[in-house]
Amino acid sequence: MAKVIFGITLMLLLTTLSSSITNAQSTNTCTNHPFQSNNQQQPNYKSCVDLPSLNSFLHYTYSPATETLNIAYRHPVGGSTGPATSKWVVWAINPTSKSMVGSQALVAYRSPIDGTLTAYTSPITSYGTMLEKGDLSFNVSELKAEFSNGEIVIFATIKVSINGSTQVNQVWQEGPLSSDGTPRMHSLSGDNVRSMASLDLLSGVIAPANGGSGGFGTSWKNTHGVINTMSWGILMPLGVIIARYVKFFPSADPAWFYLHVGCQLTAYIFGVAGWATGLKLTSGPQHIHHPTHRCIGTTIFSMATLQVLALFVRPKKDHKYRVYWNVYHHSVGYATIILGVYNIFEGFRILKPDNVWRVGYGGVLLGLVVSFVVLEATTWYLSFKRKRIANVAEENKSSINHV
């Protein structure tokens, strides 16, 4: 019954999500959008595409004979015609690869001080760029920006040389401004890491640069998330359930111990791999920086390592220090699981995967919690029943002895 309810809930959730996306796409479209410049209607662009993230749009006219590309890039920043919005926007072409580094960017923002618009060019040479002004590797003319109806629009004419191909690698992005109008680092999760795609200038076909649909894929971040969810979020709690409840039955001794150790060691091995991918993300060219998530992850890995090492100093059952070892082992183990589950949801918040992944892990976690509650109640009942039987037997034995 629970599986049926979960399936229906998941189906309704996905249906609602799909409907919301469809409605959003039907209301936010580039088709027949009028451009106003100095109260004069600009000529319509021959092509337009709804970009697959950040609710952005590209209008363009491409001339193969002259290799000239006229573009109008629309990006919502909010604020309508009211106060200035502290956000910069970028549209760029990367002539060499499908990545951020190497992109030749057109930058625009509305000053948070007086609302004036600024538009300029910026070559992206590193992941830590502050969008400094500079010349691009191709010619750009008629560069300007406008603000209307909560959108910043970048206009430009670009001389593109694509060596007989009709495809360009485009990058579009948004990020915050400091109080003095200096661009700051954009978010490193969600749509901000999905805003790259190739564009066929003749057909208008867009292909995401990562070859995916925006959900969990094969990138380092996604691999990191899947491995750690399996380790700290599923296998580790399962190992605790085995240790706490299977050993309640005398016939399961010592099988429960080997099951528990096997499950926890498997979880730890996965955890080591997850920690390694996390180090690669923070130290590699991506230089992804989420201090809270990283610190909690390092703490979890350290505590789990202590748990594994504790197996080699585990006192025997009748040892006088065994009770202290049990207190340490149980407290560190439960703390590791609690921090692990919290950090998984912190990772969901950072990565922003499709809802089916959140719901899926939520269902697994709910199943573990329900199992824990049911088994806890069952063992308490059986324990009470055993004590009552033992007391009755003791009373009968005492009565026989008196007789």
Residue whose pair of structure tokens reads 């090492």 in the numeric block? 309
- Is 260 labelled a binding residue? yes
The answer to whether residues 198 and 224 belong to one domain is no
The answer to whether residues 254 and 105 belong to one domain is no
Asked whether the predicted pLDDT for residue 10 surpasses 50, the reply is no
CA distance 375 to 358: 26
Range of the domain at 109: 31-208
Identify residue 97 by its one-letter amino acid code. S
Question: In sequence order, what are the residues at sequence separation of 6 or more whose Cβ sits closer than 8 angstroms to the Cβ of residue 285?
Answer: 101, 127
- Is 290 labelled a binding residue? no
The answer to whether the beta carbons of residues 203 and 46 sit under 8 Å apart is no
Q: For residue 52, what are its two tokens?
A: 């697959």
Residue that terminates a domain, selected from 187, 208, 229: 208
361 domain residue, yes or no: yes
- Is 186 labelled a binding residue? no
For 114-163, the pLDDT digits (tens) are 888 999 999 998 877 889 999 999 999 999 999 988 899 999 999 987 66
The answer to whether residues 374 and 236 belong to one domain is yes
The answer to whether residues 166 and 286 belong to one domain is no
Asked whether the predicted pLDDT for residue 209 surpasses 60, the reply is no
19 domain residue, yes or no: no
The answer to whether residues 191 and 225 belong to one domain is no
CA distance 285 to 169: 19
Q: What is the CATH number of the domain that holds 45?
A: 2.60.40.1210
232 or 247, greater pLDDT: 232
The answer to whether residues 189 and 289 belong to one domain is no
Asked whether the predicted pLDDT for residue 164 surpasses 50, the reply is yes
For 281-321, the pLDDT digits (tens) are 766 544 566 788 889 998 999 999 998 888 888 888 888 88
Lowest mean pLDDT of 15-24, 39-48, 379-388, name the range: 15-24
CA distance 220 to 37: 44
The answer to whether residues 71 and 190 belong to one domain is yes
Asked whether the predicted pLDDT for residue 261 surpasses 80, the reply is yes
Residue whose pair of structure tokens reads 């150790």 in the numeric block? 261
69 or 205, greater pLDDT: 69
- Is 329 labelled a binding residue? yes
207 forms beta bridges with: 198
- Number of domains making up the chain: 2
Q: What confidence score (pLDDT) does residue 75 get?
A: 93
Q: What confidence score (pLDDT) does residue 43 get?
A: 56
The answer to whether residues 170 and 45 belong to one domain is yes
Range 282-293 burial, b when 16+ CB lie within 10 A, else e: eeeebebebeeb
